[in-house]
Structure 1
Amino acid sequence: MTWTPREPMLSAPVPGPELRSGWAAEPKWDGFRALVSVDAGRVVPRSRRGTEMLPALPEIGAGAAQLPDAPALDGELVVWDTAGRLAFEQLQNRLQRRGARAARTAAEWPAHFVAFDLLRLSGTDTTGWPYRRRRASLESVFAARRLSAPWVLCPSTTDPDTVREWLTCASIGMEGGLFKRLDSVYEPAVRGWRK
């Protein structure tokens, strides 16, 4: 059965980077929000609005073999330059390419999918699970499958000092921090995350 993508969870701005008790933080990436699902070995990256993006991202399709059966991930598509900075303009260029042009550009400016949430695991909808359980399961998938490029596990922390350190990384393309309640379910209609 093919997965019907959910509307992605969104965030609301907060005035400061304070990490409250009962919350976790992740870096906020300068990329393109996407959901990735795999059904019967076919990977489908979709934009936040539901547009399929596989023709522009052949390396994401090629990476499907690393994933377990029937997962769905929420994350950010990014491209890094040779200096290790996020190159959003190159990602935008990538999304306009198809066919042989997409393959050539993938070799020069490979896209990566930074996974920060798990929406389905082995066909089981995980959106009703609390974030801490989804996060632990996502980490287990990365460890058990030894996932590597194009897949990247987004860091997560409950340590306020680590959050402050991340906020000094603007020069490499980080856009700040994202905060998630450890006991929160994945509810797109509610802006339950904070940025």
Structure 2
Amino acid sequence: MLAQAAEAIPPVRPRAAAVAYEQKLDGHRMLVFTPAGPGGRVLLQTRRGSLVQDAFPDLVAAAEQLPHGLVLDGEVLVWDLREGRLSFEGLQRRAAARARTAPALAVRLPAYYVAFDLLQEDGVELLTLPQRERRRRLERLFADRVLTAPWTLCPMTTDVATAREWLESWTDVSGVEGLVIKSLTGRYTPGSRGWTKVKRRDTTEAIIGAITGTLTRPQLLVLGRHDAAGRLRTVGRTVTLRPDQARHVAEHLTPADPGHPWAGARFASAWGRRDVLDVTVVRPDLVAEISADRSVDHGGVHRHPVRFTRLRLDVGVEDVPRFGAGPAAAAG
């Protein structure tokens, strides 16, 4: 079951169906299947249907804590012991690991599973039960089995004030990027977008170093920040500009001078993709104000396209936060 994006927590209306608010975590969606009986195999399935239990031997071993005939829905996260933080890059490495290298990676990048739904119990499918009952059974499973790491119960509340506090403050914690809102009377319908997700967005600044399209009709912006050595490092790209935004940006773009720091560079069309953008480098002297979610890699690279808000003609590139300053940093 999937979620439809929303810009803000929907207002609570009188006589509306009760809802639950869960913390949205920045991990990989995963189903956990325990065998129907002794001697069976634990299966871990990604959102796209791939079986990845060989890449996560630590989760498979920990499934001994779970009863037979169980199906959990949740997110897998990875903790980087060297960095002392949750690591999406580490999770990517774990997910791509082969069986022979996975055990060594698991030692340095242990996986944790945050469960938010119970789809089968004792071999009995629970999809038609309301969310309220599935959550009650999930909480009972954790209590009865005294489940410990790597198994974690996803935080949930029915209080909208608490949910707003989570969105405003808990999203400062690495790995928490927003909320998922679910009807307590709703069934679990695979493939449908019956839930609502709200991500926290922050306003910050970055330098325009390249564009797609032309100088007179830019389509999207490739953004950068200077690192401590003064090198312009890529931090992401925008979504396609609206026509009015494109016209305004075009009025201030200048062709790149010789020796542009990104001359000859190739930029992926999206984070983790191999296809590249057809870009034109420009003089990196314009500052863009952007709105971005919390999916940011170590160093400050945005994994999702950001939204262009406006040009900051009152701010110089020297005022833009340095590469690695974090998603919430702003020039002011």
TM > 0.5 between the two?
yes
The normalised TM-score by structure 1 is: 0.90
Q: Which structure has the higher relative contact order (CA within 8 Å, separation 6+)?
A: 1
Aligned to 2:70: 71
Q: Aligned partners of 2:9 and 2:77: how far apart in 1?
A: 23
Q: CA deviation at 1:169?
A: 2.5
Aligned to 1:170: 171
Aligned to 1:185: 187
| Larger relative strand fraction | 2
2:28 maps to 1:29 = no
Q: CA deviation at 1:68?
A: 1.1
Query: What is the one-letter code of the residue matched to 1:182?
Result: L
User: Percent of aligned positions with the same letter in both sequences?
Assistant: 45
Q: Aligned partners of 1:63 and 1:131: how far apart in 2?
A: 26
Aligned to 2:59: 60
Residue aligned with 2:59, SS: helix
Residue aligned with 2:86, SS: coil
Contact 2:34 2:70 in 1 (8 A): yes
Contact 1:18 1:160 in 2 (8 A): no
Go from structure 1 to structure 2 and tell me whether the alpha carbon gap of 1:63 and 1:48 turns closer, same or farther (over 3 Å shift): same
Query: What is the one-letter code of the residue matched to 2:79?
Result: W
The normalised TM-score by structure 2 is: 0.54
2:121 maps to 1:121 = yes
Describe how 1:40-55 pairs up with structure 2 within 5 A.
40=37, 41-55=40-54
C-alpha root-mean-square deviation of aligned residues, in Å?
A: 1.6
Aligned pairs, how many?
187
Q: Aligned partners of 1:68 and 1:49: how far apart in 2?
A: 25
Residue aligned with 2:156, SS: coil
Unaligned runs of 5+ in 1: 1-8
Q: CA deviation at 1:85?
A: 4.0
**Stretches (4+) displaced over 3 A:** 18-21, 81-85
Q: CA deviation at 1:105?
A: 0.9
Unaligned runs of 5+ in 2: 198-332
Q: CA deviation at 1:150?
A: 1.6
Aligned to 1:99: 99
